[in-house]
Amino acid sequence: MEKLENVESFLKNVDKISELVKDLNSSHVESSQNESPETFMKIMERDAEDRRVKRIAKEKKATAFKDKGNEAYAQEDYETAVRYYSDGLAELRDMQPLYTNRAQAYIKLGRYSEAISDCEWALKCNERCTKAYVHMGKAYLELKKYNESRECFEKILEIEPARGKMVKEYLTQVDLEEEREHQERNARQDFDKGEGKATAVPRLLEKLSRPGQMPLFYCGGLEILLQAVTDCTGQTLFRLNNGFTIISSNDTVRSCLLQKTKDPDSQELCVAILKLWRVICCGNDENQKMLMTCPITRQAAVHMVTSEHAAVRKECLALLCLYSQMPHGRRLAIDSLDVHMLVKNLMTCISKTAQQQENTAVNILENFAAEIKFCFQLRNVLTDAVIVPFTTILSNISKSNHHVLPSLISAIGCLVQDDVINHKLAHDPGCWRAFLVAIRQCSEYGYKETLYPMLGLIINLSTITSPVIQEHAVSLCGCCLGLLRDSDGGVINRATGVLSTVLPQSPEAVQHVTQGAVVRTMCCLLKGTGQTATKYAVKTLTVCTAASHLAREELVKCDKKLSILRHLLGSSCDEMVSGNAALCLAHCLELEGIASNLLGTDIVLLLLRHAAGDAKKTAVQQNAAIALGRLCRSEPRHRNKLRELHGFEILHSCMKRIT
């Protein structure tokens, strides 16, 4: 009977459609008989204009509803937001932002299927709408349809390959959620089977939930519980049986964690809790997330880094180290903890505690520094949290703390990859005073393992032009001159690097090092060093010869035919080396008689090759052309060689290209 009714309804609809088509055909025939083609076209144009005006009016109304919906969404009134977005769609059915916005509101309301439907409609409006794929992926994730969720997020990467980082984070969320469900399913199965450890966890948590017991009672219970939660099943059952709330809401536990009571039993309880947290979070991302939702945890994990009790401090650092080792854990900690206080306390720990704990604190700092958000949060508190304690340690290097400095400097090196942090350190007077003190102390006591990374950090910082660096340039370069006599090639290399970055900022420093025989030393280095040292040494020579007539004379005295520079021009594959060698040669050619000394050498050919080459940096071509021009002007006989090599035509062509 139901099928018959459906057939009858269908036939009625067919009849109605047939009548409409018949009416349309008859009116079309009538109009075509009575109206000329010109009149018909005018009617069509007027109809199109009417439709355009109506469309604009509908868009205006739909946009107004969208704006009202956005306001309601911002106020977390998601039901009202859905209503406004729906009103907008009633005006304009093909407005894509209304679908994606309503989908977002549906997700907030837990109406995931409706959100997916809206995303599908949004994609019909715009098949490259990445917002639709984002919201659909989130909705599928909530419905535990992991493969569908992944497909949505991966589709974003096909449309916008530059969104790789965002897509990776979404896919990580899918993996974590799928892993969580898998863990919980397996844990429930083990519990239902009556596995020993699985059934022990709820019983132990029930005992630990008893209020008002002595600290030693809870210590004993936690020690037993610790043995039951060493695998994934135990960790998951701890979470499923409300373990986090049971532990953190206990008044005795809270009192110990907040260090309100400092008797030995309370400290022992503190250590037991921290051990438990570390064990239940080890390799378990969902437990790490749950632990960071507890306010007492967030507070204690920061403040116990500087606890008076070594065992508490050790366990707290071990917990933080666990979080710092993986990107997911780092982000959880950065989003949950007071980063300013955490870093300040880590720096205090580094400066005052035992060697093993110092190393752990430095590792934590270095691991967190890999996260952009961590550096961003440090920007406004850098002086208090980092610079003051760091410079204090640098200014007081001793046998008791020098072992931790290489790792600490490495951690600071990670932080200065952030441009704002780099700029602040480069402009901090205390930082540069501390560097000078530290270089002298390391040189005096032979702490080369500290000296080497510190010079690398100075090179990074001194690439920024700073009045503070200019102020300390003479002293800093003086220290580096002394280091050039060191027996360690690595130290010599880094000291040369500092000279190459600091000297351009200070003519006084150039004069100082030139008088200190830096030119002769650089020439010696260039005769037998590796690529990095060559880059630093030739740049130092170039800076000195640009600013000092004495430096040019010293270079020519060491090498009358400038064979070192010619060798660099002929053999180096590094454009920076070639460009600086050409520029340095151009400086020397300002001296009388130098161009004549170069007669009979391959200098014209070498410079022409670089001037006419296809270097990525046009400065290489320009420097070579400048040197060639000075060479031919100082000694006209070099022009004959240039003509022989068709150099004038080549130079004319390449200069047009550079311009």
pLDDT in tens, 218-274: 999 999 999 999 899 999 999 999 999 999 999 999 988 887 777 899 999 999 999
Neighbouring CB atoms inside 10 A of 259's CB total 17
536/500 Cα distance (integer angstroms):
6
Which of 641, 636, 653, 657 has the alpha carbon at shortest distance from 607? 641
As a whole number of angstroms, the distance between CA 245 and CA 297 comes to: 11
pTM of the model: 0.78
pLDDT level of residue 620 (50, 70, 90 thresholds)? confident
Question: Minimum mean pLDDT among 287-291, 407-411, 427-431, 638-642: which range?
Answer: 638-642
Task: Quickly tell me which residue has 């536990």 as its tokens.
Answer: 253
Mean of pLDDT values over 79-96: 92
**CA distances, 518 to each of 22, 206, 223, 433 (Å):** 101, 75, 66, 23
Angle among Cα 282, 284, 286 to the nearest 5 degrees reads 135
pLDDT tens digits, 519-547? 999 999 998 766 778 999 999 999 999 99
Residue 6 has pLDDT above 70, yes or no: no
Kindly state the average pLDDT of the residues 176-193.
88
Sketch the domain layout of the chain as residue ranges.
56-176, 462-558, 561-659
- Give me the CATH code for the 56-176 domain, please: 1.25.40.10
* CB-based contact 272:309 (threshold 8 Å): no
pLDDT for the residue numbered 417: 93
How high is the pLDDT of residue 529? Answer: 61
The alpha-helical segments, DSSP class H, found in 516-617 are 518-527, 531-547, 549-558, 563-571, 575-588, 594-597, 603-611
Name residue, tokens 């030693």.
Answer: 216
Instruction: Please say if the pLDDT value at position 32 is more than 60.
Output: no
Burial class (CB within 10 angstroms; exposed 0-12, middle 13-18, buried 19+) of 339: buried
Residue 149: predicted pLDDT: 96
Quote the percentage of the chain above a pLDDT of 70.
91
More confident residue, 51 or 504: 504
Structure confidence at residue 16 as a pLDDT band (50, 70, 90): low
Choose the weakest-confidence range: 97-106, 112-121, 573-582: 573-582
Please tell me the predicted confidence (pLDDT) of residue 615.
67
- Give pLDDT, residue 354: 62
Q: What does the pLDDT look like over 221-237, one tens digit per residue?
A: 999 999 999 899 999 99
Q: Cβ(634)–Cβ(594) under 8 Å?
A: yes
